[in-house]
């Protein structure tokens, strides 16, 4: 992934948080086959310790035409779900939480992970999460990618719907301001 390559090449002065970006096949494989089939994503040969990351990004392909994003936010001890259309997580956070518990057992030898101080948060428009607008049904992938990009830079995620004279329902401008 482009974002993972950027993150891997970053230095302390670049302002990027330590992050890991799963690929788009991670979630469907986890859902269909369970932890044993995704265990290899962080195998020792890959030298990936998800517990050393501030943020872990899981792109979610919902159905056949929609993208959302799940984030394991270690900084705020939260499992987060971003959907630019404002939909529910439909069990995504439960699956990601279960994955982290299995990873803790497998990689750290912790039989039962105490996640009682972790919360689930499905971001909604009222929380300030980006929304692509009712007339725009095609920018969800862009929203998912830009949300991951901004969060990995420790930037505030904000969006402004801008109407274009040529394409009034699909032109979107994303803006960010560093926190």
Q: Specify whether 83 is catalytic.
A: yes
Mean pLDDT of the chain: 81
For residue range 110-167, list pLDDT tens digits in order: 888 899 999 999 987 676 666 666 666 677 888 888 888 888 888 777 655 433 344 4
Q: How confident is the model at residue 75 (pLDDT cuts 50, 70, 90)?
A: very high
CA distance 111 to 42: 18
pTM score: 0.83
User: 155-161 and 55-62: which strand pairing?
Assistant: unpaired
Active-site entry in 49, 62, 66, 121: 66
Q: Which pLDDT value is given to residue 44? A: 65
Q: Specify whether 140 is catalytic.
A: yes
Over residues 60-87, the mean pLDDT reads 91
Q: Specify whether 19 is catalytic.
A: no
Whether residue 8 has pLDDT greater than 80: no
Higher pLDDT, 120 or 12: 120
Over residues 56-80, the mean pLDDT reads 93
Return the top range by mean pLDDT from 1-10, 45-54, 76-85.
76-85
Over residues 93-117, the mean pLDDT reads 93
Active-site entry in 27, 41, 83, 89: 83
User: 155-161 and 66-73: which strand pairing?
Assistant: unpaired
Whether residue 1 has pLDDT greater than 50: yes
For residue range 21-55, list pLDDT tens digits in order: 999 999 999 999 999 999 988 876 677 889 999 99
Higher pLDDT, 176 or 58: 58
Percent of the chain with pLDDT over 70: 77
Over residues 54-73, the mean pLDDT reads 92
């Amino acid at each position: 992934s482009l974002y993972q390559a950027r993150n891997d090449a970053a230095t302390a002065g670049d302002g990027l948080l330590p992050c890991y970006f799963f690929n788009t096949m991670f979630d469907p494989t986890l859902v269909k086959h369970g932890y044993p089939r995704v265990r290899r994503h962080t195998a020792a040969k890959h030298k990936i310790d998800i517990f050393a990351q501030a943020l872990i990004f899981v792109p979610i392909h919902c159905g056949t035409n929609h993208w959302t994003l799940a984030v394991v936010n270690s900084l705020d001890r939260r499992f987060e779900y971003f959907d630019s259309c404002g939909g529910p997580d439909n069990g995504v956070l439960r699956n990601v939480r279960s994955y982290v518990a299995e990873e803790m057992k497998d990689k750290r030898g912790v039989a039962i992970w105490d996640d009682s101080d972790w919360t689930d948060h499905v971001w909604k428009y009222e929380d300030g999460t980006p929304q692509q607008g009712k007339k725009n049904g095609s920018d969800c992938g862009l929203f998912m990618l830009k949300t991951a990009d901004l969060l990995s830079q420790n930037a505030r995620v904000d969006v402004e719907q801008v109407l274009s004279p040529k394409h009034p329902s699909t032109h979107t401008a994303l803006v960010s301001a560093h926190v």
